[in-house]
Amino acid sequence: MDHTPINLIGGGGHAKVVLDAIIASGRIAHGVYDDDPSPAVCTNGRVRLLGAIPAVLDDDASLLIAVGAIDARERLVARIDPVRLCAPVVHPAATVSPSARIGRGSLVGAGAVVHADAAVGLHGLVNTGAIVEHDCVLGENVHVAPGAVLGGGVTVGDHTLVGIGACVLPGVRIGTQCTIGAGAVVIGDVGDGAVVVGNPLRTLRS
């Protein structure tokens, strides 16, 4: 167990989920950076505001990005020295295989499952109830939204969002900076930067 206190970057709705996971897993949230002087996560007094988000996040703290929007997360990733990232936060109600690898700065939320030999990159977000099957490989800052399912051996590139409840069939390769819409059923490979939605799948941007 890593007992280094964690500073959250961003203090909105997603930060509430992150804070609960930190506390439930027996770790310590030290504070929150947010440009908003009264971020939502601070309203119940469980964590204090440290101030605006610094231009370069290389202080001595252990850091975790707690903003949900993938584009905002991507901008923040570029401002953080990876050595400052906290050990991954895994909610005690999540299931993570002993053979899975979870990158620093990641969150595995309540009810999520990461199966054998799967790999989640730095700043990963396997959100509430999401399933990452065996041998999946997720790049940096991949967000698997609540209830989404990645079948075995799926690969997902950096800064890609797999939306709420989406299903990705086994072995599919999804590129970088993609958006997979909520509820989409992805039966074939998706190129970098694509936006795909629905079932049957439609491409809004390729």
Q: Which residues contact 100 (CB under 8 A, 6 or more apart)?
A: 114, 115, 116, 117, 118, 119, 120, 132
**Do 40 and 11 form a contact (C-beta atoms < 8 A)?**
yes
Residue 67 as a binder of ligand JB2 (CB under 6 A): the answer is: yes
Please indicate whether residue 91 is annotated as part of the active site.
Answer: no
Among 3, 115, 123, 134, the one annotated catalytic: 134
Please say which residue, 152 or 183, places its beta carbon nearer to ligand JB2.
183
Please say which residue, 67 or 167, places its beta carbon nearer to ligand JB2.
67
Q: What are 32's two structure tokens?
A: 């929150």
| Number of residues lying near ligand JB2 (CB under 6 A) | 16
Edge-first strand order for the sheet with 62-65 is 48-51, 29-33, 6-9, 62-65
Residue 169 as a binder of ligand JB2 (CB under 6 A): the answer is: no
C-alpha closest to that of 29 among 46, 17, 11: 46
| From 7, 34, 159, 166, residue interacting with ligand JB2 (rule: CB under 6 A) | 34
Q: Which residues are catalytic?
A: 134
Summarize as ranges the residues that interact with ligand JB2 (CB under 6 A). Answer: 10-15, 34-36, 39-40, 53, 67-69, 72
